[in-house]
Amino acid sequence: MPRMRDAVNRSLAEKLASRKAGICLYGFAPPKQATPPEQLERIVAQQLARFGSLAVDGLIVYDIQDEAERVAAPRPFPFLPTLNPDVYAHDHLGSLAVPKIVYRCVNRDTPDRFIGWLNSGTEPRISVLVGAPSRRSQVGLPLTDAYALAQQHSSNILLGGIAIAERHARTLDEHKRILAKTEMGCRFFVTQAVYDVTSTKSLLSDYALAVAETSGMPLPIILTFSPCGSVKTLSFMKWLGVAVPRWLENELQFARDPLAKSLELSERIFLEIRDYAHDKGIPLGVNVESVSIRREEIEASVELLQSLRRRIERSE
């Protein structure tokens, strides 16, 4: 159904390209490669139903890397390869009339393979390119090479990039990476799960100042929120590199209902950063994800998305 897909993705691509504030996305990883066919069918049917009724501007389909090279600590959940996010988004969920942003880890690409992917469709696509999880694990295509190839070979992909506030807290140069990725074709940015208001505000502050210096316009920054219902999920998020302030970790750990607490805290974090971004003229969006496969955490992520969307609509 290339025609329908075309029209569907265009709506989100236009919102992103026109720097619209308040974009709402829902992020998830494809099922594991090892999922038996009947189970996969059930998951697809469930997701078609869940996402079909979701009031979102688009879905984000992640491309999951192992990332074990990034940190010495053992991964709290085992890494199991997932289905190709492109295939999952456009084939398995192809009948879903919701725009999709597909992540692609170029670390696993060769130049030829990446060019093949760039040329593999004619309809407008939206994609976020992801580099190697650490400098040590750099084996495939470097991210900058991928951006350069995308600019040479394709005009039908709207590209986004990743923005990591935690990196900014350490090096104070993440806004420069955002500007460099903008030069290389990115039109929007998605953060990691936000639990640390301070580093996120600091990144937005430096970004807004840097954009003002060049007389440019800030691009949409999509803040990711990730409900956390257990100590294990929390430790997984921390393993993934998400900064969780000590007080907030305590709140989650000692809450009677950690999941409800994490929704409450996520909403507060969103409101504080939204006000700040609004003052700075940065179009802010949200992406709610669930890093866990526990049913209640998935349901909580849908609930959070809906309440953030209501907050956004009320302020429009």
Q: Is 311 in the site for its own copies (CB under 8 A)?
A: no
x-or-dash string of contact with its own copies, 138-177, rule CB under 8 A: ------------------------------xx--x-----
Q: How far is the CB of 187 from its own copies (least distance, A)?
A: 24
Q: Is 196 in the site for its own copies (CB under 8 A)?
A: yes
How far is residue 224's CA from residue 5's CA, in Å, rounded to a whole number? Answer: 25
199 close to 166: Cβ distance less than 8 angstroms:
yes
Q: Of residues 11, 156, 205, 235, which one binds its own copies by CB under 8 A?
A: 205
Q: How far is the CB of 137 from its own copies (least distance, A)?
A: 28
Q: How far is the CB of 257 from its own copies (least distance, A)?
A: 16
Amino acid at 284: L
**Closer to its own copies at the Cβ: 61 or 204?**
204
Q: Is 250 in the site for its own copies (CB under 8 A)?
A: yes
How far is residue 197's CA from residue 299's CA, in Å, rounded to a whole number? Answer: 24
How far is residue 39's CA from residue 99's CA, in Å, rounded to a whole number? Answer: 25
Q: Of residues 247, 256, 295, 316, which one binds its own copies by CB under 8 A?
A: 247
How far is residue 202's CA from residue 149's CA, in Å, rounded to a whole number? Answer: 32
Q: How far is the CB of 315 from its own copies (least distance, A)?
A: 19
Q: How far is the CB of 144 from its own copies (least distance, A)?
A: 26
Q: What are phi and psi of 10, to 5 degrees?
A: -60, -40
Q: Of residues 3, 135, 136, 246, which one binds its own copies by CB under 8 A?
A: 246
Instruction: Identify residues 275-294 at the interface with its own copies (CB under 8 A).
Output: 276
Q: How far is the CB of 200 from its own copies (least distance, A)?
A: 9
Task: Point out which residues pair with 287 in neighbouring strands.
Answer: 25, 224
Residue 54: C-alpha distances to residues 27, 79, 96, 126, 299 (Å):
12, 28, 11, 19, 12
Residue 209: C-alpha distances to residues 122, 175, 286 (Å):
38, 9, 22
Q: Is 267 in the site for its own copies (CB under 8 A)?
A: no
Q: What is the CA radius of gyration of the chain?
A: 18
Q: Of residues 251, 264, 299, 303, which one binds its own copies by CB under 8 A?
A: 251
CA 107 to chain centre: 17
How far is residue 190's CA from residue 222's CA, in Å, rounded to a whole number? Answer: 5
Q: What does the DSSP 8-state code read for residue 192?
A: E
Q: How far is the CB of 278 from its own copies (least distance, A)?
A: 14
Q: Which residues bind its own copies (CB under 8 A)?
A: 168-169, 172, 196-198, 201-202, 204-206, 209, 245-247, 250-251, 254, 276
